Amino acid sequence: MKHQLDAKDQAILEILQQDSRISVKDIGERVGLSFTPTYERIKNLEKNQVITKYVALVDRFKIGVQIVVYCNVTLKEQSKEALDAFEQTIVAIPQVQEVISLSGNYDYMLKIIAEDITSYNDFVVNVISNIPNIGQYHSSIVLNETKKETAYMLPKGD
């Protein structure tokens, strides 16, 4: 359900999406509010799960993640039970960063990370290919990330 955002909430979200470590005092100064109303707005955005978590973005190469793969998966069976079973299995795998249900030719798109191509091959052979109900999977290896954005563009509101 969409949460109603006014211009101050939108400004706060835009600031936090760029730097979640900025102080409440500094946010307030930038949006024209004192500390307490800014703090209360942030807490309200958290309470209503507009803000779901705060994270540090990490340079994957500096931690040894050389390969990012988008893997499209088609399941053999599409029942609710089969979909739930697949989702429960796949979300528990640490190398799988995102699981997205799709319409169209594939049932799911997985974002998978690996140290290198050999590690990814081992992962496919020993993990993906052994998950029950997978009919087909097709891997697309990321060659270059021309744009990588985490912030959502906010609709213009009040």
Domain of residue 97 covers 60-141
pTM for this prediction: 0.85
Tens of pLDDT, residues 64-120: 999 999 999 999 999 999 999 999 999 999 999 999 999 999 999 999 999 999 999
Tens of pLDDT, residues 37-58: 999 999 999 999 999 999 999 9
Tell me whether residue 152 is in a domain: no
Tell me whether residue 2 is in a domain: no
For the chain, the domain total comes to 2
Residues 133 and 67 in one domain: yes
CATH number of the CATH domain containing 71 = 3.30.70.920
CATH number of the CATH domain containing 16 = 1.10.10.10
Residues 64 and 90 in one domain: yes
Residues 88 and 109 in one domain: yes
Residues 69 and 136 in one domain: yes
Tell me whether residue 77 is in a domain: yes
Residues 67 and 136 in one domain: yes
> What is the three-state SS of the chain?
CCCCCCHHHHHHHHHHHHCCCCCHHHHHHHHCCCHHHHHHHHHHHHHCCCCCCCCCCCCHHHHCCCEEEEEEEEECCCCHHHHHHHHHHHHCCCCEEEEEECCCCCCEEEEEEECCHHHHHHHHHHCHHHCCCEEEEEEEECCCCCCCCCCCCCCCCC
